[in-house]
Amino acid sequence: MPRTPIVGGNWKMNTDLAQAGTLAAEVRHRLGSQRGCDVVVFPPFPFLRPVTERLDGCRVEVGAQDVATEAKGAFTGAVAGAMIASCGASWVLIGHSERRSVFGDSDAVVAKKLSAALAVGLKPVLCVGESRSEREAGQTFAVVRRQLESALAGLATDTLRALVIAYEPVWAIGTGLVATPAQAQEVHAFVRGTVADLLGRAFADAVRLQYGGSVKADNAAGLWAQPDIDGFLVGGASLEAEGFAAIVRARRAD
| Residues 6-25 close enough to bind ligand 13P by CB under 6 A | 10
Using CB under 6 A as the binding rule, whether residue 169 contacts ligand 13P is answered as no
Q: Which of 68, 234, 241, 245 binds ligand 13P (CB under 6 A)?
A: 234
> Taking a C-beta distance cutoff of 8 angstroms, is the pair 87, 52 a contact?
yes
Strand partners, 62: 41
Report how far residue 199's alpha carbon sits from residue 2's, in angstroms, rounded to the nearest whole number. Answer: 19
Q: Which of 60, 163, 165, 173 binds ligand 13P (CB under 6 A)?
A: 173
- Residue 212 CB neighbour total at 10 angstroms: 26
Residue closer to ligand 13P by CB (options 5, 235) is 235
Q: Which residue in the list 61, 96, 98, 130 is annotated as catalytic?
A: 96
Using CB under 6 A as the binding rule, whether residue 65 contacts ligand 13P is answered as no
Residue closer to ligand 13P by CB (options 81, 231) is 231
Using CB under 6 A as the binding rule, whether residue 236 contacts ligand 13P is answered as yes
Task: Give 181: exposed, middle or buried? Use CB within 10 Å, 0-12, 13-18, 19+.
Answer: middle
How remote is the C-alpha of 25 from its chain's centroid?
21
Angle between helices 241-249 and 17-31 (to 10 degrees): 30
| Residues 195-214 close enough to bind ligand 13P by CB under 6 A | 212-214
Report how far residue 161's alpha carbon sits from residue 59's, in angstroms, rounded to the nearest whole number. Answer: 20
Residue closest to ligand 13P, measured at CB: 235
Q: Is 168 a catalytic residue?
A: yes
Footprint on this chain of ligand 13P (rule: CB under 6 A): 10, 96, 168, 173-174, 212-215, 233-237
